[in-house]
Structure 1
Amino acid sequence: MVKPAASTTLLESPMIAILTVSHGTSDPLGQQAIGAYAEAIHDAVEADVAAHAFVDVQQPDVPTELAALPPEATIVVVPLLLSRGYHLGHDLPLAAAPFGERVILADALGPDHRIAQVLRRRLREAGAEPDDRLVLAAAGSSDSAGVEDALRTGLLLEAATRHPVTVGFLSAAAPRLHEAIARNRANDGARVAVASYLLAPGYFHDRTRTCAADIVTVPLLTPDMPPAPELIAVARDRYSTALSASPGSTSAATRGPRTNATDVATTP
């Protein structure tokens, strides 16, 4: 059970904590890739304390990690989620509610033109050619805001590649990925290249790799490559924007060296 934090206001809080939050996966490669990304984000911001939590599959969960952070800290939660959806619209606000204004919730990573540039690079690395038809493979969401974000990312990828992009969903929304691929191949049998709009290896990318496309890119993060600078910059900007937009927020620019959450004594 989440215990309410000690009563405090942002103006009274000299300590800033960042809590990155990812979905969670049982895939060891995905765990490694996300772990490296979270660590890179923690290193890129000037928070005093850094920690990571998960909304599903893995532990610690968000309420547990929020309660473990120093009670005097203002906590900026940075979701490592590509789009809005149920987790961002429901789960995270619910977890943050008992802590009041101590907890600031940042926006999802996407849509963002810098992520589209990484997707473009992944296509080039995978061997996509100028005449290939492009499909963006997105996880999908029952939340219309999440679907809208994926479609906007498709438009950003169109702008980055200067080629039409069809968005295909792996669940919950239409068109499904196999339908999007079939539509692009139907008229002239052209090659189809799929850009995997997934953060890391896991269940959805395993499904994407078995689709009928000619080319499927790796996810945005992989364990054998350091996180792209663009992805780190997006997360850093989400953190900074959330912190600066909060009433009475303390500038992180004047902070001293960050410590890990486990290095800081906490009050039960």
Structure 2
Amino acid sequence: MSEHPTLIAVAHGTRSPAGRRQIQELAAAVARRRPGLDVRLCYVDVQEPKAADVVAAVIDEQRAQHDNGEQGRQPGAVVVPLLLSAGYHVRVDIAEAVAGTGFPVTAPLGPDDVFLESLRRNVPADADAIVLASAGSSDPLWVRGIREVAAGLPGRVELGYTSGSGPRVADVVARLRAEGARTVAIAAYLLAEGLFYRTLHNAGADAVTPPLCHDAQVADLVLGRFDSAILTTVGSGL
């Protein structure tokens, strides 16, 4: 691997203008923290460019540099999923995009203490109950990850989902009200704004935490994943 690999940041993608801007700002914050680092943002769904296209472009650039006698400066690449769990998009979409390239793929951003601490800071201290709201998935890795986050939150915590087969967030809020909870907070386990996040504000809770990407430490988390992958790859002799 070269001295200055490219960081390929792979987000899910959204139609929400606010959500798109937030993910772009996250990628820009990563680049500001590491001057000279080549950060490429791409997506697995909804938006362009797709991960496979960016991976192919980086490979083409490497080949061109090699052909021009610039092998010493050609970048390798590390793929960092801007996702909250090692679910389908990591195991299938991203894996297929990098197949045969030798580019390492890091662990996704979540679950991580950075997100847990962000949720804990933003949930009102007087909440009688918390609904941990996520997109929902039947993937076992996703389910395990969201349960780990729930276990780290204080007080009574119930799981609610914005999609999939699990209980809907609004239904969980209503049940908690019926059971006597006076102040219900939604801890939004969502990286950026979008359709799912907007529905949380109509779920009947007293407070909704902001998208996780607003926490300044998330950019450092991305770089931490990137650096760890480089150390692991170099240590393995690849």
TM-score, structure 2 normalization: 0.86
SS of 1:78's equivalent in the other structure is: strand
Aligned residue number for residue 202 of structure 2: 210
The CA distance in 2 between the partners of 1:242 and 1:61, in whole Å, is 22
Aligned residue number for residue 71 of structure 2: none
Aligned residue number for residue 113 of structure 2: 113
- Cα deviation 1:60-87 (Å, max 9, x = unaligned): 1111111112324221111111112110
- In the TM superposition, what are the counterparts of 1:222-237 in structure 2 within 5 Å? 227-237=214-224
Change (3 A) 1:173 1:44: farther
Aligned residue number for residue 30 of structure 2: 41
Aligned residue number for residue 135 of structure 1: 131
Offset at 1:46?
6.6
Offset at 1:44?
2.6
Which consecutive residues of structure 2, in runs of 5 or more, have no partner in the other structure? Answer: 63-73
The CA distance in 1 between the partners of 2:92 and 2:193, in whole Å, is 25
Offset at 1:133?
1.0
Q: 1:84 aligns with which of 67, 83, 86?
A: 86
Contact 2:127 2:185 in 1 (8 A): no
SS of 1:18's equivalent in the other structure is: strand
Aligned residue number for residue 66 of structure 2: none
- Cα deviation 1:202-246 (Å, max 9, x = unaligned): 11112222112222222123xxxxx42321222121111122112
Contact 1:16 1:47 in 2 (8 A): no
Could you say what the CA RMSD is over the residues aligned between the two structures, in angstroms? 2.0
Offset at 1:59?
0.6
SS of 1:199's equivalent in the other structure is: coil
SS of 1:98's equivalent in the other structure is: coil
Q: 2:17 aligns with which of 28, 32, 47?
A: 28
Aligned residue number for residue 224 of structure 1: none
The alignment of Structure 1 onto Structure 2 pairs a total of residues equal to 224
Contact 1:51 1:65 in 2 (8 A): yes
Aligned residue number for residue 64 of structure 1: 53
Bigger RCO of structures 1 and 2 (CA < 8 A, at least 6 apart)? 1
Q: 2:172 aligns with which of 176, 180, 184?
A: 180
Identity value in percent: 34
Contact 1:16 1:73 in 2 (8 A): yes
Aligned residue number for residue 65 of structure 2: none
The CA distance in 2 between the partners of 1:52 and 1:22, in whole Å, is 7
SS of 1:198's equivalent in the other structure is: coil
Which residue identity lines up with residue 140 of structure 2 in the other structure?
Answer: S
Change (3 A) 1:97 1:245: same
The CA distance in 1 between the partners of 2:137 and 2:221, in whole Å, is 22
Which residue identity lines up with residue 208 of structure 2 in the other structure?
Answer: V
Which consecutive residues of structure 1, in runs of 5 or more, have no partner in the other structure? Answer: 1-9, 222-226, 251-268
Aligned residue number for residue 94 of structure 1: 96
TM-score, structure 1 normalization: 0.77
The CA distance in 1 between the partners of 2:121 and 2:125, in whole Å, is 12
The CA distance in 1 between the partners of 2:97 and 2:199, in whole Å, is 30
- Cα deviation 1:133-170 (Å, max 9, x = unaligned): 111111111211112111111122x1xxx323222111
1:51 paired to 2:37: no
Which residue identity lines up with residue 105 of structure 1 in the other structure?
Answer: V
Aligned residue number for residue 18 of structure 1: 7
SS of 1:167's equivalent in the other structure is: strand
